[in-house]
Amino acid sequence: MKDVLKEVLAYYGLSMVDYEAYTSRVYKVRTHYGDVAVKHSRLTDETVYNWLEVYEQAKNHRIQSFIPLYMTSEKQLFVRNKMGIFYAMPWVDTPHRDTPPYPFEALYSTMGEIHRRTSHTETVKREDFEPFIEHQKKQLESWRERLEEAVIQFEKRHYMPPFELQVCTHFRNVMYAFQRSEEWCDRFLEDIDEDKTFRQALSHNHLKPTHFLYDDNQPYVLNWERASINHPMHDLTTYFWQVMRYHDAPIDQITTTFSSYEDQFPLKNSERSLLAIYLLQPDHYMEQIERYVNGAREGGQPFRVQKLERSYFVLNNALQIEEQLEQTRTYIQQEQEET
């Protein structure tokens, strides 16, 4: 990799002194002009131009939280060679944020500002979303039936393997998550009927703790390779999923600091309903069960149990967040009635 990095840096007029692999695709490179981050991206010839357009949008909307990219001697923002597409940017030292504590307030404020600055509002009606909600409900019913069938089969065994025992232990809460998701589907249609608008914005689409850097003065969001115009709730859901899959997920911190996001991008009720629907999606959990039922045995019981547990933690923690979303709805409705 050393020779590849030297070749990439040569396009920027830089010479490498030393390097360190920070991840399998991110390298901290020492040069005579300071430390540089070099990313071996997953961009392709087809997706690189969308990525460039994302940076152009950030520039047009004066978004400061996009970390600046270095430009090559040929005025390009990336280098293409036989290994793929690379780009370079300043190295920012920051606390590692793949584990708690997470800087929720800074992240919420940063993403809220990005969503606010790039948002576009469309006028919509209930009928526009009825097919989507109908599909969601049919999928929930299908998952409910398949889970019930699996539990019936598991409970017939005198001694259940650990995976099957865990599924049976989770059953009550998972079924409750199905019920709540269906209720939020109905609310979403009612809310759209009242809001009559639907907002989209520039969305990261792969947001997780390691993509958020900050120092005392400036936060940065990294890795916009999958970005597109999407509903902002996709970004929140993706980030929440990353931190909710552990038994000690900081749910209180997630909910008590959420106002930092709404200070920048106040949500409509339909958006809260959509966030609840996204968070309560059980597809990742049901996928583990279906692979097991269909005979997939990769990794052994401990590995399968761990993946199942993490998917369950997401759903169980999502139930706490959707409860907070409902309380917020109730509070807003009471305020509206009073005024």
273-329 pLDDT, tens digit each: 999 999 999 999 999 999 988 886 666 678 889 999 999 999 999 999 999 999 888
Confidence band, pLDDT 50/70/90 cuts, at residue 218: confident
- Write out the DSSP string of 221-253: E---TT-EEE-THHHHHHHHHHHHSSTT--HHH
Q: Which CATH class is domain 104-338?
A: alpha beta
User: Could you read off the pLDDT of 237-289 as tens digits, one per residue?
Assistant: 999 999 999 888 899 999 999 999 999 999 999 999 999 999 999 999 999 99
Instruction: Tell me which fold the domain 2-90 belongs to.
Output: Phosphorylase Kinase; domain 1 (3.30.200)
Asked if the model's pLDDT at residue 6 lies above 80, the reply is yes
The whole-number pLDDT of residue 330 equals: 84
16 forms bridges with which residues in the sheet? 31
In the DSSP assignment, the letter for residue 66 is B
Answer for the pair 26, 84: CB distance below 8 angstroms, yes or no: no
């999502």: which residue's tokens? 318
Stretch(es) of the chain classified as CATH 3.90.1200.10: 104-338
Answer for the pair 254, 134: CB distance below 8 angstroms, yes or no: no
Stretch(es) of the chain classified as CATH 3.30.200.20: 2-90
Confidence band, pLDDT 50/70/90 cuts, at residue 214: confident
pTM, full prediction: 0.90
Asked if the model's pLDDT at residue 102 lies above 80, the reply is no
The whole-number pLDDT of residue 298 equals: 63
The whole-number pLDDT of residue 133 equals: 97
User: Could you read off the pLDDT of 133-164 as tens digits, one per residue?
Assistant: 999 999 999 999 999 999 999 999 888 899 99
